[in-house]
Amino acid sequence: MSTLLVWKEQLQKIYAKYSTYIMKALQFVLGLCVFGLINSNIGFMKAASSILCTVGLSVVCAFLPLVVMVIAATVLVLLHFYALSMPIALVSLVIFLIMYIFYFRFTPKKAWLVVLTPVAFALKVPFVIPVAFGLLGTPIWVLPAAFGTIAYYMIHFVKVSSSAYKGADAKSLVEGLMAFTKQSLNNKEMWVMVLAVSISILLVYAIRTRSIDHSWKIASAVGAVAAIVVGTAGNIAMNVHLSYVLLTVSGVAAMLAGLILEFLFFSVNYARTERMQFEDDEYYYYVKAVPKVGVSAPEVSVKHINERKEQADSQETVVIDSQDVKQAVEVKKRPPQKRRPAPKPRNQVRKVDHARAADEILLTRSLTRELGLENLEDELNK
C-alpha cells in the first residue's frame, strides 16, 4: 500500500509540473475515441469518415475548449445522418438542440461529461459513468449523463436500421420524420438505461456525502448494484433485450472504477478519526475529522563505487591557497643572502674579564669629573 501511495505522490508531482501537456494529450486521445467511434459506426459520408478527418479533428479539438469537441461531434453525426437520409438529420438536429438548451443552461463547463457517456456505452461499460459522476460530481450531472445516453442510442438505432431509411428523399419527408421520431422516442432500452444511470448517480452522490466510514466504497457498491437491478427490472417489465452478462460485467467494472477514484481523490485513514464539539452563542458544532493518507516519496541516493575515488578519499585533502603559492614563487626568485650567525642562547653563561671592567669604570668617572658633568647627572637623578 505504501508503494502505491508513493506512486500517487509521484504522479501528482508530474501532473503539477506538466499539467498543460497532459491535459492536451488526454484531450487528443478523447477526440480520437469520439470521432473514431462515430466514423466506425455511422460512416455514411465517406469523406468525413476517413482516418485523416478523424486525426485532424482530434488535433484541432485538442487545442480548443472541450465544448468545441462536443459541437464538432454533433456536426459530424448530423453530416453522416444527412448522407443517409434528410428526415433523420432533421429529427436528430431538433433532439440535439433540445438537449443542448438544457446542457448550456445547467452544466455549460462540463462538456466532457456529454462526450464520455457515449464512449463508455460503446466500450460496453455504461455503469462506470454513474458511479464516477456520483463520486466526483453533483446531482446536476444527471443531465449530461442522460443526454449522452440518448445520443448513443440514437446513433446505435440509426446504425441498426440504416437499410430501412436509406434512399428516403424530400417527397417522403413527413412520413420519414414521423416514423423516425416515433421509433427513436419509443426505444424502451434507451429509457431503461437513462433511468438506471440517473438513479445510480443520485444514490452514489447521496451516500458519498454522508459522514459514515468508507462512504465512497459503499456508494460505489450501492450505485453499481442499483444500476444492475434497474436494468434487470426493465428487462423483465418492458421486455427489452439487455444482456445480463453485460449488466454484471459493467457493474463489476463500476465498482473497480470507484475503488480507483477513491484511491486517487479520497485517500483517508478512518482508524485515526476524531470527533470534536464546538459551540458559540447560537449553535453547537459537531465535527468529524478524518485525516488524509499521505506518504512522501523517499529520497534515493546513488553511491558510485570507483577504485580511484576510494584511493582519493583515503588520502588527506590538502587545501592550497593561491596567495601562498604566489609568495613562495617570489621567495624563490630573490637572490640568495648570506646566513647570519645564529644568536646565542639566553641561558648560556658569558665569561667576564673583571680587571678590564674595573678600568673602564674608573676611566668613565674621571672623564665625568673633567667635563663637569657630575652636577648635571645629579640634577637628572633628582
Q: Give the start-to-end residue ranges of the domains of the chain.
A: 2-274
Within 10 angstroms of residue 246's Cβ, the number of other Cβ atoms is 14
Tell me, what's the pLDDT at 297? 54
C-alpha cell at 233: 427490472
User: SS3 of 178, please?
Assistant: helix
- Cβ contact 131:258 at 8 Å: yes
The burial class, CB within 10 Å (0-12 / 13-18 / 19+), for 3 is: exposed
In 3D space, the residue among 98, 97, 79 whose CA is nearest the CA of residue 88 turns out to be 79
Taking residue 188's Cβ as centre, other Cβ atoms within 10 Å add up to 15
Q: Which pLDDT value is given to residue 211?
A: 86
Task: Give me the pLDDT at residue 348, please.
Answer: 47
Backbone angles phi, psi at 28, to 5 degrees: -65, -45
Tell me the C-alpha distance between 293 and 296, whole Å: 10
193: which residues sit within 8 A by CB, 6+ positions away? 121, 126, 149, 153, 231, 242
DSSP code string of 308-334: HHHHHHHSPP----HHHHHHHHHHHHS
- pLDDT value, residue 249: 94
Work out the burial of residue 167: count CB atoms within 10 Å of its CB; fewer than 13 is exposed, 13-18 middle, 19 or more buried: exposed
- Name the 3-class secondary structure at 240: coil
DSSP H helix total and E strand total for the chain: 17, 2
pLDDT by residue for the chain (382 residues), tens only, comes to: 677 777 878 888 888 888 889 999 999 999 999 999 998 888 888 888 889 999 999 999 999 988 899 899 999 999 998 888 887 888 889 888 888 888 777 777 777 888 899 999 989 999 999 999 999 989 999 988 998 899 898 888 888 877 766 655 555 666 666 777 777 778 888 999 999 999 999 999 999 999 888 999 999 999 999 999 999 999 888 888 888 999 999 999 999 999 999 988 888 888 888 888 888 888 998 888 888 886 655 555 556 565 555 555 555 444 455 555 556 555 555 555 555 555 555 544 454 455 565 556 655 666 566 655 555 555 555 5
| C-alpha dist (Å) from residue 227 to 38, 115, 126 | 26, 20, 10
The answer to whether 168 and 44 have CB atoms below 8 angstroms apart is no
Residue 55 contacts residue 32 (beta carbons within 8 Å)? yes
Residue 361: which residues within 8 A CB-CB, separation 6 or more?
none
Q: Which three cell numbers stand for residue 337?
A: 643572502
- Distance between first and last Cα of the chain: 101
**Residue 287 backbone dihedrals phi, psi, to 5 degrees:** -115, 135
Contact predicate 27/62, CB 8 Å: yes
